[in-house]
Structure 1
């Protein structure tokens, strides 16, 4: 098990956070590197969030294909995505930041779920996952 020593736990209501905070978090990769030095939240007016429970991904191939579609922009420009899935009877979670993703096993979960943040999200096609 790896421990993230850089983790910051915030207990404040996110709706009170300044726009600059959201811009900084959306413009960093998994390894905390700046993605786009010219990034501006003002240019991301169509930023949306999508979430769904009871995901229909049953195999590693389906999960891999889905993550590649997210990275390739098939559902819009994705800045962050995370989810919990159950594949072949095993639980796992994934995190995607811009064009990088990581997956790891977990011991148990209450159900499958995905959350996606991006621009111009294709909500109708995401609903079919």
Structure 2
């Protein structure tokens, strides 16, 4: 594959991985008030081709955050125990918003890289036509 094609492929894999990461962050934010909800955490993996790193990345396995759920005092809630508490979620909105911003900025950086490689490829084709 050409260097331009490789650059496009690497940038596209980064955009796809960050888009999926942002999807999980959005699910966490949407379920912040869901009783018993454990936030989803993900990592990234390097894509290998015949044992060699290609430079591409993909989203790793989605895991549930093992941290403790918050205890919420609400004696009127049907989920409450005899003391009036029930398990909330372990989603911290500040952390989720920070993760969302990080994913967005990384996506935008990959998009700029993709666009730059595309423009360079188009310029090269224009030069070759002359």
**TM-score clears 0.5:** no
Which protein is bigger by CA-based radius of gyration?
Answer: 2
The structure carrying a bigger strand percent of its residues is 1
**Which protein, 1 or 2, shows the higher relative CO under an 8 Å CA cutoff with sep ≥ 6?**
2
So what's the TM-score if we normalise by structure 1? Answer: 0.23
The structure carrying a bigger helix percent of its residues is 2
So what's the TM-score if we normalise by structure 2? Answer: 0.23
